[in-house]
Chains A and B, each alone.
Chain A
Amino acid sequence: MAGLRYEAPNTVDAAIGLLSEVAGAKVLAGGTDLLVQIREEMIDPDLIVDIKRIDETRRIEITPDYVKIGAAMTGAELGENEELAAMWPGVIEAVELIGSWQVQGRATIGGNLCNASPAADSVPAIIASGAKIVVAGPQGVREIPAEEFPKAPGRTALEANEFVVSLVLPVPPKRSGDAYLRFIPRTEMDIAVVGAGVSVSLNEDGTCASARVALGAVAPTALLVKDAIDALLGSKLDDVTLEKLDKAARDACNPIDDKRGTIEYRTKVAGVLVRRTAAIAWERAQKQNG
């Protein structure tokens, strides 16, 4: 048996072939989670498949119908794409909140999804955007709605030998906006105690035409919060709506007590953050009134 192998295939098919070849092979994108897990001896794989040399994982495609983001695009690269940042500012903000500048140069949007931490910053924003996750595997390519992708802490909807190639986001309609906020005790270099992603589209009269609200770090996986969406639909963002939103968020929480926060605290802050995030998304949507 050889030591830890490293392969950097150029095609999706080659990557799937490698993943199929060695049980427990790990996909490497930015490595900011994977390398820590190996260092801390949490995992001990026999093969690392680096997907950064596969063209599909490394590009941003913006069409009139959809936006496609390669899974191995880093936070820094996404933040530098002005067109993307104008369309989905909340998603980009969320990705850019993952770690320091140094981590931003490495950590990828696909990696943040696949690490499947309940507190992953980008995931609530991605769910709120209505994104689909493009997955390739031995049976071909399939798309998974973002909210169905995380299954449990550390576990995703990926089947054996599958990997995430890209994410497909819709092109937001007129009068749309999204936002992501998280709470951390410090100002940087921290894991979200609570994260909230909201995207809204408004009618001409300023009421909410469509909305998606997602929470992170308050349950085993990031959640799409149906009651919070219902609270927004057809409404303006007045105090009554905000109060309903706050309550819906709190009711959706099923958090744990851990070193980063208590159940009571996470639940309260989820309500606060959803209100604040919705306000930013709303303001952005109103500004897009043209």
Chain B
Amino acid sequence: MSDNQKSGVVGGNYRWVGNNTRRPDGVDKVTGRARYGDDMVLPGMLHMRMLRSPHAHARILSIDTSDAEAMKGVKAVVTHKDVPDHPPAKPPFGPAVSDFHDLSRNIMAREKVLYDGHAVAAVAATTESIAKRAVRKIKVEYEILPHVLDPYEAAQAGAPILHEHQFTLGLEPKPKEPSNLFRTLGGEQGNLEQGFENSDLVIEREFSSQPVHQGYIEPLACVASSSEDGAVELWTSTQGHFVARTLLSRLLNLDMSKFRVTASEIGGGFGGKTTIYHEPAAILLSMKTGRPVRSVMTRGEVLRATGPTVGSVCRIKIGAKKDGTLVAADAEIWYQAGAFKGGPVARATDSFFSPYKIPNARTACHDVCVNRPKAAAYRAPGAPMATWAAEAVINELATEFGLDPVEMRLKNAVKEGDTSLMGTKHGRIGCIEVLEAAKNHPHYNAPLKKNQGRGFALGYWLHGGGLSSASANLLDDGTLTLALGTPDIGGSRSSMRAMAAEELGIDIELVKPAVVDTASLGYNHLTAGSRTTYATGMAVVNATREIIEKLCSLAAFKWEISVEEVRWDSGEALPADKYAGKLKPFSLKQLAKMAPGTVGPIAGHSEINAKGAGASFCAQISDIEIDPETGGTSPVRHTVILDAGRAISPDYVEGQMQGGAVQGIGWALNEEYIYDDNGRLLNTGFLDYRMPVASDVPMIDTLIVEVPNPKHPYGVRGVGEPPLVPAPAAVAIAVENAIGRRMGDLPMSPPKVLAAMDAQKLAAE
């Protein structure tokens, strides 16, 4: 079996932070008590089912719901007519696009259906069975239109147009014809032409990848309940219930305060549960009927109609000196945003070359609409495909020059003070430490067996900070409750609890964290962008420090000294300065007991906009064995090396590293969306959407590097996303090295591998 290790430069001796602790949600999850989206039942609840488009692109001529509405047990039907319309958003657009014109059409098709699975109507009925039958009685007349699935083709003139009102942004003069190309984001520095001229070798390649789904095991599920006074309660499986509240209130033109959204326990998200899908229909049906409405998507609906990540077509060119110095790099990528604009193009442009200092560089990332479900975030959205292209070419350059791939990267690695192409000025970062750790890892130079290949790749991710709130309440018996507003998707309650216990200096078991509803706490952005332990963690530290201040004040009051003369250490208020050692310390428990009779309840809260989350780096080494006769692939060894800043809970950090790596293995080898000629999705279940099963993968070795983030009280960097960034690249490069031929197209499924091997044999003859 493999091992998991830690190495790094972190100091600090903590009781809870940095040690493995039991997760507070663990017992509920191993016993089946934890309540997920689909586990909520309300009295009188109706069941919702949706009618979805069988066409990739068609004009809706009419929708007749009368037969469905006439059925016994059917309580209401909604279509786009029930959804408020919104004008298209106007520029300028930020890196993330928010457009309620699009959102209202994605949750319920209006003029046209734009992809197979696009929602057209929703029915609420007394039983699921009646709802299912009613959906089949809705008659929709369609005028089928030509469709387009490939992002490069969709961006060309003459392609079928999805949105007649969409003209490519930023072109002068303004184009006369609408386009599926929404915009191009990118960056440029230096003199590209000169850079390539000054290079000893320039390699240019093309890459492509297919959309892959987040693949969370819990299908989307919600229960909406609206009352006659206009209040709406919503229970839903989401990565951000505060964000859901904002989207729903704006979309439905309802006061935000009337919503109370509760995040259920969430059965995986990986970015896929960062927006709303069926919730508006459930709310509208609840409003129409006055009864709670539950919706649970089928797996087929999840795959057909909720965001996979973008597929891509990429062209890249990198030039370097013989000694390995990178001189010039140029990349262009087309992302299939799906039916509506908003592919992660800003992240792509940040991902191509950020680990390296390249004086002359340019990126151009195209956000293209195609007849596929609107893409959603997927763990480091936009990064893995760009990283793959750049890393593959850098490895090839190293091979051509006879250089060690890690040495070549070390020669160009970014460090504190460097600025990325997107203008991020780096603080203390661990790029070099991660590369050194990879070079020294026994896996890096371990011998390979016959038919095996090794891939190495480095990934970069700039973490999010943003809005978080936390509230801590000290109870009379000296225990603490912690109210959080970021859904716990990977163990964040455990990390929050560790930081709170560390601050207060009390036993971790005395702290009980909970994710609370939107009425109970200040605003919180999504659990996404690897921001939670960083930003919400900071809010938790602030909130507990406020409690400490109040406890010190209480002690000062009791001792009749000034609060400046009290300090907090290891769970006790201690007299300081001239009183040091002269008064008996008060424990937290004693102070908590005194509070109600003196100063009253003691609580702390914090609402922040966290900045400076900074970047982290992740390197992966992958060994793949190929069956030379069938093209079958087996991952035989895989190592993940990550700068975590500080691992608050090392075993959960390892879990993130291992999970991300295995998602990358799936992405590189077998996962893909397969459409027929009519643009209908063919693989709508887990049988043919081939995510790795337990027997497909080896143990995943991990090495946590700790280069603390100076902006966080405990040095935290996000750990959710970086483990996926270089994973498909490492695996794909391993496959290519095993067969001795470049393929450039993901997934590297057995038929493609066998075809490449046959082509290689032909070329050798």
Contacts and interface: CB of A to CB of B under 8 A. Distances in A.
A and B touch in the complex (CB under 8 A): yes
B688 A183 contact: no
A64 to B, nearest CB: 39
Contact of B690 (A185, A265, A272): A185
A190 interface: yes
Given A191-B687, A259-B674, A272-B629, A186 B754 contact: no
Given A259-B688, A260-B688, A269-B630, A187 B695 contact: yes
A225 B329 CA distance: 56
Contacts of A191: 687-688
A188 B682 contact: no
B249 interface: no
A66 to B, nearest CB: 35
A183 B687 CA distance: 15
B632 A185 contact: yes
A193 to B, nearest CB: 8
B692 interface: yes
A188 B693 contact: yes
A168 to B, nearest CB: 32
A188 B750 CA distance: 15
A18 to B, nearest CB: 24
A240 interface: no
B20 interface: no
Given A260-B688, A272-B629, A272-B630, A187 B750 contact: no
A186 B695 CA distance: 8
A187 B687 contact: no
B670 interface: yes
B697 to A, nearest CB: 9
A47 B629 CA distance: 47
A35 interface: no
Say whether chain A's binding surface is mostly helix, strand, loop, or mixed.
loop
A265 B629 CA distance: 11
B693 A183 contact: no
Contact of B749 (A40, A185, A269): A185
A262 interface: yes
A186 B693 contact: yes
A12 B471 CA distance: 68
Contacts of A190: 687, 690
A273 B751 CA distance: 15
Interface in B639-687: 669-670, 674, 682-683, 686-687
A249 to B, nearest CB: 13
Contacts of B407: none
Contacts of B692: 186
| Chain B CB within 10 Å, residue with most, of A41, A272, A273 | A272
B696 interface: yes
A261 B687 contact: no
Contacts of A269: 629-630, 754
A259 B682 contact: yes
A259 B690 CA distance: 11
A41 B696 CA distance: 31
B630 A189 contact: no
A262 B751 contact: yes
A262 B751 CA distance: 7
A40 B693 CA distance: 23
Contacts of A272: 629-630
Interface in A61-116: none
A40 to B, nearest CB: 8
Nearest to A275: B629
Contacts of B669: 185
A187 B693 contact: yes
A124 B629 CA distance: 21
A58 interface: no
Contacts of A262: 751
A258 B634 CA distance: 23
13 contacts: A40-B300, A183-B750, A185-B669, A185-B749, A186-B690, A187-B693, A189-B687, A190-B687, A259-B683, A262-B751, A264-B755, A272-B630, A273-B630
Interface of B: 132, 300, 629-632, 634, 669-670, 674, 682-683, 686-688, 690, 692-693, 695-696, 749-751, 754-755
Given A183-B750, A188-B695, 7 more contacts: A41-B132, A186-B692, A193-B750, A260-B688, A261-B751, A262-B751, A272-B629
